[in-house]
Amino acid sequence: MSKEEIHHPTAKQYFRIAMVLSVITAIEVAIFYLEFLGYWMVPILVVLSTGKFALVAMYYMHLRYDHKLFTYLFVSGVVLATVVIFAIISLFSFGIGRW
Amino acid sequence: MSTDVHNNNTHEDHDYTTTGLNHRKMLMWAFLGSDCMFFGALIATYLVYQGKSLVGPYPIDVFDIPVTSVSTFVLLMSSMSMVLAYAALTQNKINGFRIWMASTAIMGATFIGFQVYEFSSFSTFHVDIESCAEQKVKYGKFDDYEAELCSNAKEDHVETHDGLKPQTNLFGTTFYTLTGFHGAHVTLGIVWILSLLFLSYKKGMITPERHLDVDLAALYWHFVDVVWIVIFTVIYLFGVFPFPGS
Amino acid sequence: MSSLPIPVPNIKISRPVNPTGIWSWITTVDHKRIGIMYGITAFILFLSGGIEATIMRLQLAGPELDIVSAAIYNQLFTMHGTTMIFLAIMPLSAAFFNYLIPLQIGARDVAFPRLNAFSYWTFLGGALMLKLSWIGGATDAGWFGYAPLTSIDQNPGKGIDFWILSLQILGVASLGSAFNFIVTIINLRAPGMTWMRLPLFTWMSFITAILLVLAFPVITVALIELTFDRYFAFNFFNVANGGSVVLWQHLFWVFGHPEVYILILPAMGIVSEVLPVFSRKPLFGYATVVLAGAIIAFMGWMVWSHHMFTVGLGPVANTVFTITTMLIAVPTGIKMFNWIGTIWGGSLKLNTPMLFSLGFIAMFLIGGLSGVMHAVSAHDAQQQDTYFVPAHIHYVLFGGAIMAILSGIYFWFPKFSGKMYSEREGKLHFWLMMIGQNVTFFPMHFVGLDGMPRRIYTYAEGMGWDLWNAVATAGVFILIAGFLVMINNLGRHWRNGPTATNDPWDARTLEWSISSPPPHYNFEEIPVVRSLDDWWETKYGTHEKAVPVSGSSDDAHNSDIHMPQPSYWPAVTSLGLFVGGYGIVFNDLLFPYLFAGIGLLITVIGVYAWSLEPVNDPE
Ligand code: HEM
Ligand SMILES: [Cu+2]
């Protein structure tokens, strides 16, 4: 086994991460019901779910402990997909998009 | 990780590699990057059509956030279970491995069960103006939802909304396609996990030295999980939220 | 694809063993054989696309001709475009990827030999499916299949269904090979083959593969949406229920523009290999060329709406995409200067490959210039959907991609055939090509600016388009003559040409250090790379001459080289996709989706058997 593997989280840490993920999910749902937040809900939820995404990718998928290359391969897809989504949405929100 | 553990003549596994990284694992990551674009295109379609349906039911009519929160939780837990299966295998606890794999598959199946329930309840969703009061119970805190539902129904010049089918409106079309493809990914993952579980009863097929086979399935499974994290927020939670300009 | 080394006894079917004969080709996992199969298949498909084009040109030779009906004409241009892009240029590039990349990086095979075989067979299945759709009416909505031309109401025949499913199958093939080459290039470089020593062709192929894995999922989704609209009455592109046909255009071009770079980057790679060899100078500004390629790939994502300038996206979008499109011409221009810098002051040898590469530079330059004209959105309003766009396309794809591919075919012909072609006939081919393509495609600029729309099956007399259309049609026959010369030249010499030496061009990269054709294990000893253009340095540089690893073809002393064994399963898995594709198109045969199910079953069996089969049987 290579050296990095020694640093892999233990079962207990995996469990703790699962707890964090559950709590964030609970918070998300709670925030959803906080009507007074109005549009502030959007950035808050984006931050929270990005956090969840990152936790799973870094720890459960071991990106944190693996070679950077894997991160590059994956993150390029994530980033590009995000950018394309935003670009298409904005192209549709003016000009012909307002149909 | 471990390129050193592969014992024998699987050319793909043991040979010299420039980076020291395993071929198959690299393939998996490239695939996941690519699959992001797949879901990205589906999500883009969903968002472009958000609020563009000509008739109801609309997200606000059918979404049941508490139920979906539970299924989201189940899928998150299945990810934990998967990572524990992998950890058990690397420590040569083959029984622990089997238990965690089985529990992952069961939780995955539960998630699919929720999805089937959700699809069938959406497709039989029924509201008429008189029963709007009932909906109030469901969305207790949103006082004006009731009013909105009724006005939606009026706007569409219908007395009733009968079921959200993919053909009903743009919401149905995009929603079922997006979540359906996610469900298909989960189903494939379950088949994969069960195959590995089954193989672990064949001698020498699933061993700590060959943890990569499980690692790849795990990566796939977690990926499906993170996609759901995005879908849950963007489709469900934002789904009932009016966007500027939508 | 997980592969488990220990065979499961009850599943195992004995492995294919024949070293020759048809089964050896069906089961082969040798990247060189797969490369040759790709090349020959794609070349035949290229000719089929050429026949379609010829018929179109005949129909347009004069006004109001009646050689084919409007309906057939629509099918012709759609099939021509789809064929040339997906069945000719992409797989011809794939042929080069397959044959050359392992040789250039000093590897014995690709990272996933069976996946490689799978890609080829899947490609073949998709190609057959598309071309066979001529029987009963092919697709006729243009290669970009704009909604609502593809909707079930407008287009109830099976042509569109065949188009959709064959593109999906071809997508699987392309994705499979792109993943394979990404991993191969990252992971199977010989010791010392650092990124900045990587041959340029391999570099451009790597960038192409990355573009491919990111772009293809988008068209996959678009096609899935279209399928659901057609088969299950979904609303994606159904305007009556609020859908937008513009969404199809966005999704298509988000894929489509990176796709044009998928077509041209390998060609740029080939040219960047050929020019230094025949100029006897290193490539001018290697790092710049690599970087420009990467920038092109990156910026290729930011320009797609230049295909939609006349849709009415509004002034903001049109301005943004005008600017980005103009900017992307900059890295393209940088490459031009690098190529010219490479030739500058070199001692040029004007062999056939070099001529084709020089032709590429000239023709691609013209195509790039008309591209920049398109890029001005105000100006493009005059050009969109006129013959000016086909003029652009053909200067970049015929004058660009095809010229470079021909250059590559002549350049590496000695390597893969072990024979020399006739230089005289090669040059004749080149001149016929240069004259033919300019006679054919340049007039399209004129009729285009004169307002002749593209995709019309005929035109009235007195529009002023007669002369140039007649000229364009005449040019086609020059091109046909050129290709006949080529087929004769290469076909004849492949069988009994003079034997080629290992390194007939005095070239620079590793593939020339081994015998022609290379032994099936490529390198007897994996080379150690010490510089860019290592083989050149080995011959003329300061390296002590330790490395020449010309493999001999007798296997006596290399029994310890383990090559992956042949396998049935890639072909079986592909067969499943092919059957499944037909099963979806003819989903009402006997029982709903019966054959789709059978196809799925075959695929599943193939995948399991493949996963459980070790790459090599234990000895
Ligand atoms: C200098 C760089 C280039 C620029 C600025 C450019 C710009 C454009 C623009 C603005 C259009 C849209 C024209 C219209 O429909 O009115 C276009 C079409 C097209 N370009 Fe380019 N282009 C460039 C290079 C290339 C290359 C390298 C290729 C392929 C190898 C290519 C292939 C195509 C194709 C296939 C179309 C037409 C698609 C269709 O309508 O069927 N272009 N180009
Ligand atoms: Cu473009």
Whether residue B58 has pLDDT greater than 90: no
List C-alpha distances in Å: B235 to A55, B39, B47, B173, C382.
Answer: 21, 13, 8, 13, 41
When pLDDT is cut at 50, 70 and 90, the band that residue B12 belongs to is very low
**C593 HSE (CA, 13 A, CB side):** 4
Question: Nearest C-alpha of chain B: how many angstroms from C463?
Answer: 43
When pLDDT is cut at 50, 70 and 90, the band that residue B62 belongs to is confident
* Average pLDDT value for residue range C92-100: 96
- Tell me what percent of the residues of chain C surpass a pLDDT of 70: 94
The pLDDT of residue C224 is: 96
- Tell me if B23 sits within 8 A of B211, measured CB to CB: no
Domains of chain A: total: 1
Mean pLDDT, all residues of chain A: 84
What residues of chain B lie within 8 A of the CB of A2, using their CB?
A: 1-2, 4
C447 CA from centroid of ligand 1 (Å): 18
Residue B41 belongs to what domain range? 23-126+161-240
Strand partners, B160: B128
C-beta pairs of B94-103 under 8 Å, 24+ apart in sequence = B94/B200, B94/B206, B97/B200, B97/B206, B97/B214, B98/B197, B98/B200, B101/B193, B101/B196, B101/B197, B101/B200, B102/B197, B103/B78
Task: With a threshold of 0.90, tell me whether the complex ipTM lies above it.
Answer: yes
Helix, strand, coil percentages for chain C (3-state, nearest 5): 65, 0, 35
Rounded distance between C-alpha atoms, residue C222 and residue C511, angstroms: 40
Dmax (CA) for chain C in angstroms is: 77
Which position has the token pair 């026959």? Answer: C477
Whether residue B5 has pLDDT greater than 70: no
The pLDDT of residue C430 is: 97
* Average pLDDT value for residue range B113-124: 92
The residues, any chain, with a CB within 8 Å of residue C190's CB and separated by 6 or more, are B18, C105, C106, C107, C510, C523, C526, C527, C528, C529
Tokens, residue B75 = 């899928």
What residues of chain B lie within 8 A of the CB of A74, using their CB?
A: 29, 32-33, 36
pTM for this prediction: 0.91
Whether residue C615 has pLDDT greater than 90: no
What residues of chain C lie within 8 A of the CB of A97, using their CB?
A: 246
Name the residue among C69, A42, A77 with its Cα closest to residue B227: A77
Tens digits of per-residue pLDDT, B170-205? 999 999 999 999 999 999 999 999 999 999 988 888
Question: Nearest C-alpha of chain A: how many angstroms from C490?
Answer: 41
Tens digits of per-residue pLDDT, C249-304? 999 999 999 999 999 999 999 999 999 999 999 999 999 999 999 999 999 999 99
Tens digits of per-residue pLDDT, C166-184? 999 999 999 999 999 999 9
Q: Is A90 left (phi over 0), alpha (psi -120 to 50) or beta?
A: alpha
Whether residue A2 has pLDDT greater than 90: no
Whether residue C197 has pLDDT greater than 80: yes
Whether residue C4 has pLDDT greater than 60: no
C261 CA from centroid of ligand 1 (Å): 10
Q: Is the CB of C325 under 6 A from ligand 1?
A: yes
The pLDDT of residue B128 is: 59
∠ at Cα C200 (C194, C202), nearest 5°?
75
Strand partners, B162: B126
The pLDDT of residue C65 is: 93
When pLDDT is cut at 50, 70 and 90, the band that residue B141 belongs to is very low
Q: What are phi and psi of C419, to 5 degrees?
A: -125, 160
Strand partners, C419: C499
The pLDDT of residue C562 is: 73
Mean pLDDT, all residues of chain B: 81
Q: For residue C564, say if its preceding peptide bond is cis, omega within 30 degrees of 0.
A: no
Interface contact B209, partner C, CB < 8 A:
no
Residue C184 burial (CB count, 10 A) = 30
The pLDDT of residue C145 is: 93
The residue whose CA has the least distance to atom 4 of ligand 1 is C371
When pLDDT is cut at 50, 70 and 90, the band that residue B27 belongs to is very high
Domain ranges of chain C: 21-549+562-566, 567-619
Out of A42, A77, A88, name the one closest to residue B32 (CB).
A77
The pLDDT of residue B168 is: 87
Decide if B186 is inside a domain.
Answer: yes
Subunit contact C615:B166, Cβ cutoff 8 A: no
Tens digits of per-residue pLDDT, C317-367? 999 999 999 999 999 999 999 999 999 999 999 999 999 999 999 999 999
B43 CA from centroid of ligand 2 (Å): 23
The pLDDT of residue B153 is: 58
Which residues 514-533 of C have a C-beta within 8 angstroms of B?
A: 526
Buried b / exposed e across C441-456, counting CB within 10 Å, b at 16+?
bbbbbbbbeeebebee
The pLDDT of residue B164 is: 87
**B124 HSE (CA, 13 A, CB side):** 5
- Ligand 1 atom with minimal separation from the C329 CA: 1
The pLDDT of residue A36 is: 76
* Average pLDDT value for residue range C396-417: 96
Residue B224: its H or E element: helix B211-231
- Tell me if C403 sits within 8 A of C439, measured CB to CB: no
Subunit contact A76:C214, Cβ cutoff 8 A: yes
Out of C109, C186, C232, name the one closest to residue B166 (CB).
C232
The residues, any chain, with a CB within 8 Å of residue A79's CB and separated by 6 or more, are none
List C-alpha distances in Å: C157 to C131, C138, C172, C348.
Answer: 16, 9, 25, 55
The CATH topology of domain C21-549+562-566 is Cytochrome C Oxidase; Chain A (1.20.210)
Q: Is B55 helix (H, G, I), strand (E, B) or coil?
A: coil
> How long, in residues, is chain B?
246
Subunit contact C250:A91, Cβ cutoff 8 A: yes
Name the residue among C234, C210, C376 with its Cα closest to residue C300: C210
CATH code of residue B232:
1.20.120.80
Question: Nearest C-alpha of chain B: how many angstroms from A16?
Answer: 10
When pLDDT is cut at 50, 70 and 90, the band that residue C3 belongs to is very low
Rounded distance between C-alpha atoms, residue C230 and residue C237, angstroms: 10
**B238 HSE (CA, 13 A, CB side):** 23
Interface contact C472, partner A, CB < 8 A:
no
The pLDDT of residue B243 is: 44
Report the range of poorest mean pLDDT among C499-503, C555-559, C584-588: C555-559
The pLDDT of residue B64 is: 85
Which position has the token pair 């899947």? Answer: C122
Spacing of C-alpha C390 from chain mean position: 19
The pLDDT of residue C563 is: 80
* Average pLDDT value for residue range A3-31: 82
When pLDDT is cut at 50, 70 and 90, the band that residue C8 belongs to is very low
Residue A64 belongs to what domain range? 3-95
Residue ranges in C188-199 assigned as alpha helix (H):
none
Q: Is A54 helix (H, G, I), strand (E, B) or coil?
A: helix
Rounded distance between C-alpha atoms, residue C2 and residue B233, angstroms: 33
Q: Is the CB of C374 under 6 A from ligand 1?
A: yes
Question: Nearest C-alpha of chain C: how many angstroms from B18?
Answer: 5
| DSSP state letters, C250-304 | HHHHHHHHHHHHHHHHHHHHHHHHHHHHHHTSPPTTHHHHHHHHHHHHHHTTS-G
Question: Nearest C-alpha of chain A: how many angstroms from B73?
Answer: 7
- Tell me if C202 sits within 8 A of C162, measured CB to CB: no
The pLDDT of residue C560 is: 63
C437 vs C11 pLDDT, higher one: C437
The pLDDT of residue C177 is: 95
Which amino acid is residue B106, in one-letter code?
I
The residue whose CA has the least distance to atom 14 of ligand 1 is C384
- Tell me what percent of the residues of chain C surpass a pLDDT of 90: 79
* Average pLDDT value for residue range C204-229: 96
- Ligand 1 atom with minimal separation from the C383 CA: 16
What residues of chain C lie within 8 A of the CB of B199, using their CB?
A: 4
* Average pLDDT value for residue range C194-210: 95
Domains of chain B: total: 1
The pLDDT of residue A1 is: 39
Name the residue among C47, C41, C143, C72 with its Cα closest to residue C482: C47
The pLDDT of residue B241 is: 64
The residue whose CA has the least distance to atom 16 of ligand 1 is C384
When pLDDT is cut at 50, 70 and 90, the band that residue C417 belongs to is very high
DSSP class of residue B233? I
Whether residue C531 has pLDDT greater than 90: no
Rounded distance between C-alpha atoms, residue B75 and residue B228, angstroms: 8
The residues, any chain, with a CB within 8 Å of residue C586's CB and separated by 6 or more, are C158, C595
Whether residue B54 has pLDDT greater than 90: no
Q: Is the CB of C318 under 6 A from ligand 1?
A: no
- Tell me if C275 sits within 8 A of C342, measured CB to CB: yes
CA nearest C252 in A: which residue?
A88
Subunit contact A17:B43, Cβ cutoff 8 A: no
Instruction: Give which of B11, B193, B227 to mutate to test C binding, by max C Cβ within 10 Å.
Output: B11
Which residues 175-194 of C have a C-beta within 8 angstroms of B?
A: 175, 179-180, 182-183, 186-191, 193
Mean pLDDT, all residues of chain C: 91
